[in-house]
Structure 1
Amino acid sequence: MIPHKVPPVVRLGPARLTEGLDHCRRLDLPAHRTIHGAPAPLDLESLIAQVDLVDLRGRGGAAFPFARKLRAVAGNRSERVVLINAAEGEPASRKDAMLLVRTPHLVLDGAVLAAEALRAREVVLAVAADSVPFASAEAAVAERRAAGVAGAEESRLRIRVIGLPERFITGEGGALVRGVNGETPTPPGRKRRAAHEGVDGLPTLLSNAETFAQLALLARLGPAAYADVGTPREPGTLLLTVGGETVVEAAHGMPLSAVLDLCSPGADLGPGVLLGGYHGTWLTAAEARTAVLSRAAGTPLGAGIVLPLGPDTCPLGETARVAAYLAGQSAGQCGPCRLGLPDLARALLALCSGEGSPEAVRRAARSVERRGACSHPDGTARFALSALDVFATDIASHLDAGTCGRPVLGVLPLPESPAEPEYRLDVDWTRCEGHGLCAHLLPEFVDLDDFGYPAFRPVPGGMLREARRAVEMCPALALRLA
């Protein structure tokens, strides 16, 4: 399989994960073996010892110690499964897609090493359905079968690729397990650790694609050579997605400014840089210029996403636009997501028009923190609250004049969505008593005249749930939805 278009890759320092990609669009199995060799199987104790020596952490955003996951799964005596999380729901991330499209066997090598050490029954790779990474992953599994490279241990090991819907929350651990198990890929209502109850109810080693690729490199190089780059506390390299397109492999400890200058030499960063994705944190341009690629140094790397705004777009408008997207991407199964996130999005939109206040945004964000069935409300609140701190000057302009004078250019990438139907609110004037509750619940779509009676604007499909809520709560039962 040779993809027509592949994610671009650049480097700061030695090529580790991206070795060989200067000359090949995609490393098929023979090319992969030429560059990376065939990994030698490791027993569980040896594998955990190597992982402990370099303190390998998960690269999906939470930076959870990988050795602790291995021990947790190994502590269960039943059959085990290895699950690769490549359902990259973050619209601004491309690193896991790059790995699957361009060097998929590196990811599979790491997963197979872990599966052999754990004596797991199968490796499952979960990725967005009907995508290029999905096709490349299936081709890689087929290449392995055709080449007969499995060997005695791997021959009993099943490898399968599962396609899941491409949504923001699909990559959440509980949602991913549910999707692989044939259920709706939304977070479960209660916390379930995959290490105890994962795929088919079995103990499951769950980590993201880059983590398994790093594991393959560690096994090939050994801890000492793996730690030749990076810092003593964070050895090795990491993958970043810069500007929503370019994947950068850089060593831990390098200045973030070097990454930004490599991708856009001399570019004006504008009022801020988003680190970690849409559950991440905004930094001022000055903070970004002094940050280093190190979680130990306090840099919130998250899922390795770096998004400089540039000087020409409205930062508050960009934040509000993403907050509205995140509100629509929730599972809608708990109050903080179903009610709180739309309230937070509305508070940001009101602030953009100069009619809201930072205090209203803070209240809406605080109302969802640590109350959801998953971390989606917490991440969205963190994103919004950091914008209030970093864009204080811009917010003052919006409050004074209703605008900062810059358009919203859509610099922060969002997925293209099909055109949504629009709905219309109607009123039975024989019943309406001008309570004004509909305008309170749907301020973007309902205006009140001087006498307190409503006038309506079309409601997009993404707000249908909130419109129905307004209809149900009308005290005079005068509101209808068409």
Structure 2
Amino acid sequence: MAGVTAPVLGCVGPPRVLAGLDVLPRLDGDDHLAVHGALPAYGPEDLAGLAERIDLRGRGGAGFPFARKLRAVMRTAGARDGRCAVVVNGSEGEPSCLKDTAVLLHAPHLVLDGALLAAAALGAEEVVVGVTREDVAQSVRAAVAERGPAGSLVRVARLPERFVTGEGTSLVNGIEGRAALPSGQKVRTSDRGLGGVPTLLSNTETYAQLAVAARLGSAGYRTLGLPSEPGTLLLTVAGSTVVEVPAGTSLAYVLELFGFSPGEGVLVGGYHGRFLAPAAARSVNLSRQSLATAGAVLGAGAVLPLPEDTCPAGEVARVVRWMADESAGQCGPCVRGLPSLASAVEELVAGGGRAAWEAVEARARGVRGRGACSHPDGTASFVASAFTVFAEEFRDHALGSGCGRRVRGTLPLHVQEDPERLVVDWTLCKGHGLCVDLLPDVVRLDADGYPAQAVMPVPGRLRPKALRAVRRCPALALRIQE
């Protein structure tokens, strides 16, 4: 599982978030103060003004201005009874990202500083750090304990490791003990979040950058990066190396420095991101403006170069199937649309011809703008970007010639090592077909109306439906095998 992956750390220029980690593997409370110094206090307007002057934006994908979030919580809480909460999103369900994991493992106090700074400014009752990895949870709990009474406001919530866990309503649901799934309601957490109160929710790096800026002040913070985008960025390069770079650094320089090249193209922003062709990857800088000009987004900070010895079409097909399996299983575009899109991409890569190409385009159009969260849109955009950058590759595969290269798994995935299986007892099965009605993405029927396979892997998200199929089978012919 991805939970055992240990990130390698690096930097371009002087580190800020990763400061001190070239000497120590983890900064405990005393080390943290020795490296970063004491944290100044800020009032609510002063903190919002600081975030505004440095143009601090969410580093989890959407890039929403932090000052606007902060002021929205202030406004909503002030109009009610003043109660509010602060949530740190450290879930990082994106397989290609380890930057938030790295900060929480190695410099957790910096994140707690930012979260507690915001909580003090807002008068928040609670700070919750939501994580998915046990080693990360242990690191944060240790940091809270190292703070003594000052850490009493903070608790750590362990959540399931899934792609959709990091969606705002999904995270809040998981923290409150419900299924960590998107609510499908267009409700901002700044209006109603944890416990029904206005909640400031942002990701790990955002709070760490806030803590850095609080110490440096806006003028000091702006000494690195671009005038329009000051400060540093955390990137995960090739799914394993976490790098801190000043905003505006050349993407090609970062890749070369850590032993990579643009290869056949570079995926920037993770699996809801966009591919850059080699020429664009060599010319673009790591800033919102430069990436936007090239049709890309920084997103969750993932940078994934595709080497020339792997098949890009096959790599994309693997990711789309994984994204379909990571569906929340709640709305049609995810339950039906994404598996159909994945199947269409797989058929095209296997030589499905023009009809398969058209099927992919139709399936992608069918899921856009219709999901309960951004997962269907992000997946469809990922496919569209791949079809643009690797058009010739996909065309060759569709026509049956292919590229002749192996799929090396360069794009990392969280793979369940020992998935549960649905097992059919042929001595009891009568071919009623109720199992396929409940599990159309798992069970396929043969020409005689019986399950085509005796043993079928069950994705974790479909376990409840698999259990229901076992209970409802009239012949008692099904069981779950771990």
CA distance in 2, matches of 1:128, 1:453: 41
Q: Which amino acid aligns with 1:405?
A: G
Q: Equivalent residue of 2:124, what SS?
A: coil
Report the alpha carbon displacement of residue 460 of structure 1 after superposing the two structures with TM. Answer: 3.5
Report the alpha carbon displacement of residue 291 of structure 1 after superposing the two structures with TM. Answer: 1.1
Q: 1:166 to 1:311 in 2, by over 3 A?
A: same
CA distance in 2, matches of 1:423, 1:368: 32
Q: Is the 8 A contact 1:54 1:235 kept in 2?
A: yes
Q: Is the 8 A contact 2:327 2:461 kept in 1?
A: no
Cα displacement string for residues 286-327 of structure 1 (whole angstroms, at most 9, x for unaligned residues)? 111111101122141100000111011111111111111111
Corresponding residue of 1:100: 104
Q: Which amino acid aligns with 2:339?
A: P
Corresponding residue of 2:410: 411
Q: Is the 8 A contact 1:169 1:376 kept in 2?
A: yes
Corresponding residue of 1:79: 83
CA distance in 2, matches of 1:408, 1:335: 30
Corresponding residue of 1:53: 53
Report the alpha carbon displacement of residue 407 of structure 1 after superposing the two structures with TM. Answer: 1.3
One of 136, 142, 147 as aligned partner of 1:144? 147
Give me the CA root mean square deviation.
Answer: 3.0
One of 111, 120, 123 as aligned partner of 1:116? 120
CA distance in 1, matches of 2:317, 2:461: 19
Corresponding residue of 1:247: 242
Corresponding residue of 2:341: 344
Report the alpha carbon displacement of residue 464 of structure 1 after superposing the two structures with TM. Answer: 10
Report the alpha carbon displacement of residue 397 of structure 1 after superposing the two structures with TM. Answer: 2.0
Identity, % of aligned positions: 48
Cα displacement string for residues 50-98 of structure 1 (whole angstroms, at most 9, x for unaligned residues)? 1111111000000000000001000123311110000010111000000
Q: Which amino acid aligns with 2:211?
A: A
CA distance in 2, matches of 1:406, 1:459: 29
Cα displacement string for residues 225-257 of structure 1 (whole angstroms, at most 9, x for unaligned residues)? 100011111000000000000001001111110
Gap runs ≥5 in structure 1:
473-479
CA distance in 2, matches of 1:453, 1:190: 39
Report the alpha carbon displacement of residue 201 of structure 1 after superposing the two structures with TM. Answer: 0.8
1:328 matched to 2:314 = no
1:134 matched to 2:133 = no
CA distance in 1, matches of 2:109, 2:56: 20
Q: Equivalent residue of 1:300, what SS?
A: coil
Gap runs ≥5 in structure 2:
470-476
Q: 1:391 to 1:459 in 2, by over 3 A?
A: farther
Q: 1:106 to 1:401 in 2, by over 3 A?
A: same
Q: Equivalent residue of 2:38, what SS?
A: coil
Report the alpha carbon displacement of residue 462 of structure 1 after superposing the two structures with TM. Answer: 3.6
Report the alpha carbon displacement of residue 447 of structure 1 after superposing the two structures with TM. Answer: 8.2
Report the alpha carbon displacement of residue 375 of structure 1 after superposing the two structures with TM. Answer: 0.4
Corresponding residue of 1:294: 287
Q: Equivalent residue of 1:55, what SS?
A: coil
Q: What is the TM-score of this pair, normalised by structure 1?
A: 0.86
Report the alpha carbon displacement of residue 423 of structure 1 after superposing the two structures with TM. Answer: 5.4
Q: 1:120 to 1:93 in 2, by over 3 A?
A: same
Cα displacement string for residues 185-236 of structure 1 (whole angstroms, at most 9, x for unaligned residues)? 0000212211111111111000000000000011100000100011111000
Cα displacement string for residues 349-404 of structure 1 (whole angstroms, at most 9, x for unaligned residues)? 00110115322111111101110000010111111111111111211221233532
Q: Equivalent residue of 2:270, what SS?
A: coil
CA distance in 2, matches of 1:15, 1:281: 27
Cα displacement string for residues 131-166 of structure 1 (whole angstroms, at most 9, x for unaligned residues)? 211110000000001xx5x3xxx7xx6111111111
Report the alpha carbon displacement of residue 422 of structure 1 after superposing the two structures with TM. Answer: 5.4
Q: 1:447 to 1:379 in 2, by over 3 A?
A: same
Report the alpha carbon displacement of residue 269 of structure 1 after superposing the two structures with TM. Answer: 3.2
CA distance in 1, matches of 2:224, 2:376: 36
Q: Is the 8 A contact 2:10 2:241 kept in 1?
A: yes
1:315 matched to 2:312 = yes
Corresponding residue of 1:476: none
Corresponding residue of 1:216: 211
> Greater shift after overlay, 396-405 or 86-95?
396-405
Q: What is the TM-score of this pair, normalised by structure 2?
A: 0.86
Corresponding residue of 1:475: none
> Greater shift after overlay, 416-425 or 324-333?
416-425
Q: 1:366 to 1:15 in 2, by over 3 A?
A: same
Corresponding residue of 1:358: 357
One of 193, 196, 199 as aligned partner of 2:188? 193
Q: 1:418 to 1:215 in 2, by over 3 A?
A: same
Q: Is the 8 A contact 1:86 1:125 kept in 2?
A: yes
CA distance in 1, matches of 2:179, 2:19: 37
